[in-house]
Amino acid sequence: MGCKKHLGWRGMLKKCGCKMTKPREIILEHLSKNCKHLTVEDIYFALKNKSHDIGLTTVYRTLELMVQNGILNKFDIGDGKSRYELAFETNSKDHHHHLVCCKCGLIINYNDFIDEEIQLLKKVEKELSEKHNFKILNHIIQFQGVCSNCAKKNEETN
Amino acid sequence: MGCKKHLGWRGMLKKCGCKMTKPREIILEHLSKNCKHLTVEDIYFALKNKSHDIGLTTVYRTLELMVQNGILNKFDIGDGKSRYELAFETNSKDHHHHLVCCKCGLIINYNDFIDEEIQLLKKVEKELSEKHNFKILNHIIQFQGVCSNCAKKNEETN
DNA sequence: TACTAATTGAAAATGATTTTCAATTTCTTT
DNA sequence: AAAGAAATTGAAAATCATTTTCAATTAGTA
Ligand SMILES: [Mn+2]
Ligand SMILES: [Mn+2]
Ligand SMILES: [Zn+2]
Ligand SMILES: [Zn+2]
């Protein structure tokens, strides 16, 4: 498991003069296995008391490094905590966008229309990057609203 | 100036049992005149030493209230500060999406392809809200990258 | 004008993230 | 395999955005 990934990560790190370390390996491995939207705390506590205890500061630093190098995506659902997930290539089958509940923070991945979305994004991206001389690296499409659970809760209250 | 806006705001506030106050009026007026992407601090200092000094806490509270009521949009470009702008109707000519520079935080509004974008969003929204029983209230489309200025700076460094 | 509920704002509290710095680890070179 | 240079780690302290508290003030209503 993870051999190819490990090589990729190590290569990426070498390119920017960084080293592959135990904590970095463990954190990336954890993110690979849990394809979720994790906070720093989520990761810190999940790895606590495992074979190798990782400091909170190191979790922060590792995640930031991986974002800078395009391994991870960082995003914010409005609750003041950053969330991280593996960055999937725009054209991979794992690439997806988000539905976010503004009441409870639930995040739903979807890729039902991903081909159409990507097609339009590509076009917009091309025109805008030329027009504004802007190098586009990434995109976000996100719908915000109220999940079925929160809607139900709200009805009961009234 | 702003009569219609003021009435709309007052009406909105009444509906949720809130009052129209000097600070709220001033903050909304400021946001109307500066169609930008302002932080709490931006607004607090812009209004400091004006006719009516507004407390930082009140700025926070007013902005949050307006977001809850759909008057303002809140978003995050990854620098840890929330930003606010007037919420334009999905179909208004002022509705737009964003290009964000991840180096300097520059935000460019664009609506070059807004009709196509909206059309696709509507379709996706309809299907997803049915599939997941999710009430969609808002959407975000954002491109992240490096602006021409930051690209130039980076070249010079190398 | 008088009343009541909502609002304000200064100060303190909170909570996420960053900084500091001495000890440890990685990777390259012998 | 051992040494050395440079990068990394992590505990503690610092920072900084945002929230809470609470007594004084203000807006809307009767
Ligand atoms: Mn996701
Ligand atoms: Mn904008
Ligand atoms: Zn929810
Ligand atoms: Zn820039």
pLDDT at A157: 61
Tens digit of pLDDT per residue, chain A (158 long)?
A: 334 566 688 998 999 999 999 999 999 999 999 878 999 999 999 999 887 899 999 999 999 999 999 999 999 998 999 999 999 999 899 999 999 999 999 999 999 999 999 999 999 999 999 999 999 999 999 999 999 999 998 776 65
Instruction: List, in order of start, the domains of chain A with CATH numbers.
Output: 1-87 (1.10.10.10), 89-148 (3.30.1490.190)
* Predicted TM-score (pTM) of this structure: 0.91
pLDDT at B21: 97
C-alpha atoms less than 13 angstroms from C-alpha of B95 in its C-beta half-sphere: 16
Residues B85 and B54: beta-carbon distance below 8 Å: no
pLDDT at A84: 97
Tens digit of pLDDT per residue, chain B (158 long)?
A: 434 566 689 999 999 999 999 999 999 999 999 878 999 999 999 999 888 899 999 999 999 999 999 999 999 998 999 999 999 999 899 999 999 999 999 999 999 999 999 999 999 999 999 999 999 999 999 999 999 999 998 776 65
pLDDT at A141: 95
Pairing relation of β-strands A97-101 and A135-146?
parallel
Q: What angle separates helix B56-68 from helix B40-47, to the nearest 10 degrees? A: 130
B130-148 burial code (b ≥16 CB/10 A, e <16): eebebebeebbbbbbbbbe
Name the residue facing B134 among A99, A123, A137 (closest C-beta).
A99
pLDDT at B153: 84
pLDDT at A1: 39
Q: Alpha-carbon distance A139 to B149, whole Å?
A: 20
Gap from B3 CA to chain A (nearest CA, Å): 31
Pairing relation of β-strands A135-146 and B135-146?
antiparallel
Report the residue of A107, A132, A138, A155 to disrupt the B interface, i.e. the one with the largest count of B CBs within 10 Å.
A132
Gap from B50 CA to chain A (nearest CA, Å): 31
pLDDT at A34: 86
Pairing relation of β-strands B97-101 and B135-146?
parallel
Q: Which residues of B touch A144 (CB under 8 A)?
A: 136-140
Whether B41 sits with its Cβ under 7 A from any strand D atom: the answer reads yes
Q: What are phi and psi of B144, to 5 degrees?
A: -115, 140
Nucleotide nearest to B56 (CA to C1'): C9
Name the residue facing B124 among A101, A113, A127 (closest C-beta).
A113
Nucleotide nearest to B53 (CA to C1'): C9
pLDDT at B3: 43
Residues B143 and B99: beta-carbon distance below 8 Å: yes
Structure tokens belonging to residue A36:
């979720």
Q: Helix, strand, coil % (nearest 5) of chain B?
A: 45, 20, 30
